[in-house]
Amino acid sequence: MNATIIARTDTAFTLQIEVPYNGSMLDFEEALQDRLNEAGVVATAEGLQLFDTDGSPITVGPVKFTSKGPVEKDYQTPYGVATLARHVYQGPQGGPTYCPLDRDARIVVSSTPRFAKMVSHKYAEFSSPRVQVDLEANHGRVVSRCLIQDIADAVAAAAMVKEEDWSYALPKFDSPPATVAISLDGTCALICDDGWREAMVGTLAFYDADGERQHTIYLAATPEYGRAKFLGQLESEIGRAKAKCPEAHYVGIADGASGNWAFLERHTDVQVTDFWHAAEYLGKAAVVLYRGHPRQKEAWLEEACHRLKHDVGGAGWVLKQLRRLARERPRAKGHEDVQRAITYFTNQWGSGRMDYASRVAANEPIGSGVTEAACKVIVKQRLCGSGMKWTEGGAAVVLSLRALSYTPGRWEEFWAKVDRWGFPVAA
């Protein structure tokens, strides 16, 4: 054994390790990592013993439990497998056993909390085979894909169970947020039984008075009919934001899909059609209207986008231009891209959601780029790899972990709550 405990006091213990010299620095570092892992296993086993009982009977509710004696269990740690004999209890009528050490040390399945935190964070980023490779290559840990999946499932289940009970703190802002932009969008993922289905993403982006983004909360949910669960989660986040930032101006931003506006109208002071979607419609129409005249097309598109963004009533001017050009240009009559642009602007401008000049003057966002990026980063990058197909439960695990880890500060806060109140889902 290259790592041994050589001294103990009431408050600490001393660990000694032997590290061999080596002619190659890389080989030396590899050997050092191995010895440090050995030391970590010894130290973790020592630390786990602090959470065990002395074997005396215990009472849980009205039932008295007695120890079956020390029973060995292998605990997965960041350093290796720590084997420990700990007291396991059972009631007088038999039935399920109970281990105080597992409860008090916050064991997740068979993993220590630090290892569960490490594995679940890695699984949020890439597939279980890649997590397996990463753990062996970078941490000297050889674990099964099954264990990786079990740990990730348990952590995600805890996060989902407690998403209503555990509120997460906003960061300390240098200045109070002046604007909170609320946006939601969908993107498709391949679900085993249903084919391509729409997963939902929502964001709450906090901006200061100068229009600089201060913080973003990310939410994501697996495909569901009606989106009720996802909208309930988003509604809860909005309620907490309003309680902490009651003076902020709440702006709802979406890409124009009719299903989003009813929700945003209930929760925001003003609604805005994503400027970049509007510009995209204009760009496609301009290609048809000025086919064969690229310079005229670019000049007209630049003026139209500028007026749309900065002029009061700019959307009305653009709509008149589209209608006039559609009448005057023979090739544009009835063309799908031109008619789509006219319909889009008619619907969105008529609903008052294209008042970009007012939003720009107030240093408020006019685009849903934060949410568009979240669709790609939170959902597409992880769920839509080559050959990937998901069960709804498997996708829910990944999206829950990614939403936690990509929201600044929330991952650490989640684990602080686990450390304080225990792991809320039985392994």
pLDDT in tens, 77-131: 999 999 999 999 998 888 888 899 999 999 999 999 999 999 999 999 999 999 9
Better-predicted residue by pLDDT, 275 or 425: 275
In DSSP notation, 342-357 reads HHHHHHHHHTT---HH
329 pLDDT higher than 90: no
344 pLDDT higher than 70: yes
Question: CA-based angle 86:88:90, to the nearest 5?
Answer: 170
Burial class (CB in 10 A: 0-12, 13-18, 19+), 308: buried
Span 239-260, pLDDT tens digits: 999 999 999 999 999 987 777 8
At 163, the pLDDT band (50, 70, 90 cuts) reads confident
Read off the pLDDT of each residue in 195-201 and give the average, rounded to a whole number. Answer: 92
Better-predicted residue by pLDDT, 224 or 306: 306
pLDDT at 226: 62
Place of tokens 């979607």: 277
CB atoms within 10 A of CB 62: 5
Task: Return the bridge partners of 185, or none.
Answer: 201
At 425, the pLDDT band (50, 70, 90 cuts) reads low
Domain extents for the chain? 1-105, 179-274+367-415, 275-358
Span 62-75, pLDDT tens digits: 889 999 989 999 99
310 Rama class: left (phi>0) / alpha (psi -120 to 50) / beta: alpha
At 2, the pLDDT band (50, 70, 90 cuts) reads confident
Read off the pLDDT of each residue in 41-45 and give the average, rounded to a whole number. Answer: 97
164 pLDDT higher than 80: no
Read off the pLDDT of each residue in 372-377 and give the average, rounded to a whole number. Answer: 95
pLDDT at 375: 95
How many Å apart are CA 285 and CA 418, to the nearest integer?
54
DSSP-derived letter for residue 378 is: I
pLDDT at 363: 97
61 Rama class: left (phi>0) / alpha (psi -120 to 50) / beta: left
- What interhelical angle do 294-310 and 314-328 show, nearest 10? 150
Instruction: Give, for 338, the enclosing helix (H) or strand (E).
Output: helix 336-350
Span 378-399, pLDDT tens digits: 999 999 988 899 998 999 999 9
How many Å apart are CA 233 and CA 164, to the nearest integer?
8
CB-facing half-sphere around the CA of 255: CA atoms within 13 A: 16
At 402, the pLDDT band (50, 70, 90 cuts) reads very high
DSSP-derived letter for residue 387 is: T
The token duo for 187 is 């993107």
Read off the pLDDT of each residue in 1-13 and give the average, rounded to a whole number. Answer: 92
The token duo for 63 is 């039932």
Percent of the chain with pLDDT over 70: 99
pLDDT at 33: 94
Q: Which amino acid is at 208?
A: D
Instruction: Give, for 325, the enclosing helix (H) or strand (E).
Output: helix 314-328
Better-predicted residue by pLDDT, 164 or 228: 228
Read off the pLDDT of each residue in 3-8 and give the average, rounded to a whole number. Answer: 94
DSSP-derived letter for residue 225 is: S
Cβ(131)–Cβ(119) under 8 Å? Answer: yes
Cβ(100)–Cβ(127) under 8 Å? Answer: no
